[in-house]
Structure 1
Amino acid sequence: MNTDTNGQTLQAALLMVAAMAIIGVIDNYIARLAGEIGLWQFHFTRGLMTVPLVTLMSLAGFGTMRPLRPWRVVLRSLLAATAMLCYFGALGLLPIAQVLAGLYTSPIFIVVITGLFLRVRIGPWRVLAVAIGFAGTLFVLQPDPANFRLAILLPVAGGLFYALSAIATRSLCAGESTVVLLGGAMLALMLLGAGGLVWLALFPVEAAPGAEGFLQRGWVWPMPQALPWVVVQAVGSVGAVFLITRAYQLGEPSLVGVFEYSVMIFGPLYAVLVFAQGIGPWQGLGIGLIVLAGAIIAVRSR
């Protein structure tokens, strides 16, 4: 590997770590706004900010907003948006360590789906990684049959749909602009948020007070406490995704992808330092196992 390649790899790694640091910090504040507004209002109002930001990125020359195969982009956008609905919905109800652990089961789902349905040979190392990752997920989520909550399945569902969107990105949307894929996912989230608000307006339900009502709460106005965090989410998420995209452009994807797991350090660490949100020893072990599983899958994919 020459000096230029080494420099690009280091730059890509730093960009990815910076992106994960941003995400790890800003996603901790979903629990703050979850007590005032609902999931659907959050995505609708955030979309009103992120879609114009992505459009400006396109106008600035970072990529076209015109899809080559519109229906494939629509399918991929819906999968990615559903993953984010599950992820952010879980963030309003569960500690961030549990939510990130569930979302980052996606490489495990990718291996299972491609092996079972796409007939891709996965090999013994990836089978081992799936077993390690599954054990890690159990350690982090710590499901208790006596006190089972459906909310605990939300982050894992997010990991499943995130995996499906990743597979769709590679198999259905090859050659599409990164900006059109980002814009499609943001637009889909905004429309799903609007749809949820319309549904709750037509068929209102009584939302529980505080964060427990995050999924059932309709439109709330004004939202003085939540609005600043929606703005932070809009700007931070677009900036982070831009850094992620640039990192994958500069470095070997299978190597750069390993650094994506640094969010499982930044997110829980910030939660511990700022919100005193503790992590038990078994959860710490589980996070380590999920990171190890992802690293094995990434390295064996090279």
Structure 2
Amino acid sequence: MDLSDNTRGALFMMGSMTAFTLNDACMKSLSGELPLFQALLLRSIAVIAFISFMAWRAGTFRTRISRKDQMLIALRTVVEIAAAYFFISALFHLPIADVTAILQALPLTVTLAGAVFLGEAVGWKRLMAILVGFAGVMLILRPPFLFGEGSGFSVYSIYVLLAVVCVTVRDLCARRISAAVPSMTIALAAAVGVMSLGAVGSITQPWQPVSVTSVMWLAGASFFVIGGYIFSVSAMRSGEIGFVAPFRYTSLVVALILGLFLFGEWPDRLTMLGSGIVVATGLFTLYRERLTAKRQHLGLRPR
């Protein structure tokens, strides 16, 4: 059966989000086995080896990169390092579904940041959707100043928000990098940055013996994160971004299933309500972006 480009792109996106979430589950399973930085370092070594081989096969290392793109790649790598630290730290201490649900606010934050910093057109409907989406995030986080003491809020809740901010900056940098720069170059720089974080951080923590169980979780994390990279690149090159992007919410469904069966976790009603609001507003925002792009293509004024 022949599949359309959009259908293939959607399947690749679903595969990418599933792989990344499985990687998260493997890393979370390591929280009781290995220190954070040791786990990051060991996983990064495997990821860098694979990406370097793929980049070499593709002739990526022969590509000349402008000074501007070098600076953007450097900035993107710095925020990638920060995002990895904040995200994995939160993942080690919070339910996987809660962390994943908050990350679903990314389409909202990227749209808002694009309007503020890049001057991209955003109508009042999308702005309202962003505000409602942030209200959904507050339901998941439940900060004490809104819900009182004992709401379950912790410093790791702030870490997830910081990870969202870092990933938003990362995506804005990616938008500004020239299309002539190979994706493998950008991915390799990020992987080296995260490995450096693990290497430096591991000096401050005593290393733990790597058991057979730890090796299995590390192998799983490495395998799935590499699969996530491959599928995500394929998704972006197979179909229209406006059609493919909504399928990124597959990660929340996978996180709910993994949280229940691997960790015995299930979100409460407020978290589920907040997650639903974030997903609904994200889907609406992506729909409006696709509609705006069509209107601009036809020479009509965005609204």
**Structure-2-length-normalised TM-score:** 0.86
Partner of 1:78: 78
Return the alpha-carbon distance in structure 2 between the equivalents of residues 222 and 30 of structure 1: 14
On the 8 A contact 1:40/1:218 being kept in 2, the answer is: no
Q: 52, 56, 60: which is aligned to 1:59?
A: 56
Partner of 2:149: 146
Q: Are 1:261 and 2:249 counterparts?
A: yes
Q: Deviations over 1:117-151 (max 9, x none)?
A: 33333111211221121111112222334244211
Q: Are 1:229 and 2:217 counterparts?
A: yes
Q: 157, 166, 172: which is aligned to 2:162?
A: 157
Which amino acid is the alignment partner of residue 6 of structure 2? T
Q: Helix, strand or coil for the counterpart of 1:34? A: helix
Return the alpha-carbon distance in structure 1 between the equivalents of residues 161 and 14 of structure 2: 23
On the 8 A contact 1:100/1:155 being kept in 2, the answer is: no
The alpha-carbon deviation at position 111 of structure 1 amounts to 2.5
**Structure-1-length-normalised TM-score:** 0.86
The alpha-carbon deviation at position 60 of structure 1 amounts to 3.4
Which amino acid is the alignment partner of residue 156 of structure 2? A
Q: Are 1:127 and 2:127 counterparts?
A: yes
Aligned-residue sequence identity (percent) comes to: 23
Return the alpha-carbon distance in structure 1 between the equivalents of residues 187 and 118 of structure 2: 25
Relative distance call for 1:123 and 1:70 in structure 2 (3 A) is: same
On the 8 A contact 1:102/1:156 being kept in 2, the answer is: yes
Return the alpha-carbon distance in structure 1 between the equivalents of residues 200 and 263 of structure 2: 33
Return the alpha-carbon distance in structure 2 between the equivalents of residues 275 and 254 of structure 1: 34
On the 8 A contact 1:87/1:103 being kept in 2, the answer is: no
Partner of 2:44: 47
The alpha-carbon deviation at position 25 of structure 1 amounts to 2.7
User: Which structure 2 residue ranges, 5 or more long, are not aligned?
Assistant: 291-303
Partner of 1:107: 107
Which amino acid is the alignment partner of residue 269 of structure 1? I
Relative distance call for 1:192 and 1:242 in structure 2 (3 A) is: same
Q: Helix, strand or coil for the counterpart of 2:60? A: coil
Q: Helix, strand or coil for the counterpart of 1:225? A: helix
Relative distance call for 1:173 and 1:231 in structure 2 (3 A) is: farther
The alpha-carbon deviation at position 90 of structure 1 amounts to 0.9
On the 8 A contact 1:72/1:173 being kept in 2, the answer is: no
The alpha-carbon deviation at position 219 of structure 1 amounts to 2.3
Return the alpha-carbon distance in structure 1 between the equivalents of residues 216 and 45 of structure 2: 14
Partner of 2:90: 90
Q: Helix, strand or coil for the counterpart of 1:186? A: helix
Q: Supply the RMSD in Å over aligned alpha carbons.
A: 2.1
Partner of 2:182: 177
Which amino acid is the alignment partner of residue 106 of structure 1? L
Return the alpha-carbon distance in structure 1 between the equivalents of residues 216 and 94 of structure 2: 22
The alpha-carbon deviation at position 100 of structure 1 amounts to 1.0
Question: What is the aligned length?
Answer: 281
Q: Deviations over 1:269-293 (max 9, x none)?
A: 2211333211212211211111112
User: Which structure 1 residue ranges, 5 or more long, are not aligned?
Assistant: 201-216
Which amino acid is the alignment partner of residue 75 of structure 1? L
* 1:7-26 paired onto structure 2 within 5 Å: 7-26=4-23
Return the alpha-carbon distance in structure 1 between the equivalents of residues 41 and 261 of structure 2: 30
* 1:241-256 paired onto structure 2 within 5 Å: 241-256=229-244
Relative distance call for 1:173 and 1:73 in structure 2 (3 A) is: farther
Q: Answer with 291-300 or 142-151: which moved more.
A: 142-151
Relative distance call for 1:173 and 1:191 in structure 2 (3 A) is: farther
